[in-house]
A and B are shown apart, each in its own frame.
Chain A
Amino acid sequence: MNRDWADICGGAVLALLGLGVAINAGLRLDFGTLRAMGPGFFPTVLGAMLALLGAGVAVPAWRRGAKPVTIRWGDAAAVIAAILIFGLGMSRLGVVLACFLAVLIASLPAPHPGWRWRLVLACAVTVLTYIVFILGLRMSLPVWPRLP
């Protein structure tokens, strides 16, 4: 069925999130009074508002058609994987190796065939990163892989 799935799913997720926030804040944090608001006042009210707004977005969208949206999971996965490898691997692998790997992975979804340009690009970005952040800004980061 050609419904506005973007708004239905988006609205539903936001509504559930709002409900969760409101319940969590309502149970765990002190609500206080209007005069002396506790830490729970603002989140509870906001959570309830988000739940209503999310429902307000999702419900009318059910009866409305819209162009389907294509999510490029592959592109997203490559970019996210590149960031995680760089961010979490930096301390073990060192900036140089982590950067090289991350650029290689990030370049995978680019719609241009061939391996050579990917390797050259990975080398170029790694050198640039080394010059700017290690030599230029003197960030204290492990440069080379640490042996166990």
Chain B
Amino acid sequence: MGVRTWIEGWPVYRQLTGTDPLGRGAAAQSPRSRDLSARTGSADSMARSVCPYCAVGCGQRIFVKDGEVVQIEGDPDSPISRGRLCPKGSASKSLVTSDRRVRGVLYRRPFGTDWEELDLDTAMGMIADRVVAARAATWEDADEEGRPLNRTLGIASLGGATLDNEENYLIKKLFTALGALQIENQARI
């Protein structure tokens, strides 16, 4: 290492002689920090999304590399949020990537004391069987005066405010056709 290289490796020298008199940019870089690059730059793809927490509707950009979410940040294009996110929105990468997420079906049998694992298709079939049976057992064709009721009060559902419009549409459509009236969500609460 020559003397000149050694002196130029000294940040104060670069700060005093270079283009960064405040020492907050190039002057302060080490070889390591100079070689760092943003995850957003090396991502394979970016999806334009919306924060899943409150109803302000802040824009999010979700960066994915090698099949993993590597960064979620505010979308500066959004006229609603102008790139900003609150503590919850800023933490939403850890919501998506958390190792606490349930990734397989868990099943608790009646009177059971712990979870068991269950195959997804098996669980779907079991739920469909139970919907059919609950309907059959609690179906009401008509009221006492013969007016139609077409319904079951044996099935209830709660949730929708955190879901997509398209999902709420299918939920309401299917349950209505099944005669299941007792469909509610956070808007009642």
Physical interaction between A and B: no
Residues of B within 8 A of A (CB): none
Residues of A within 8 A of B (CB): none
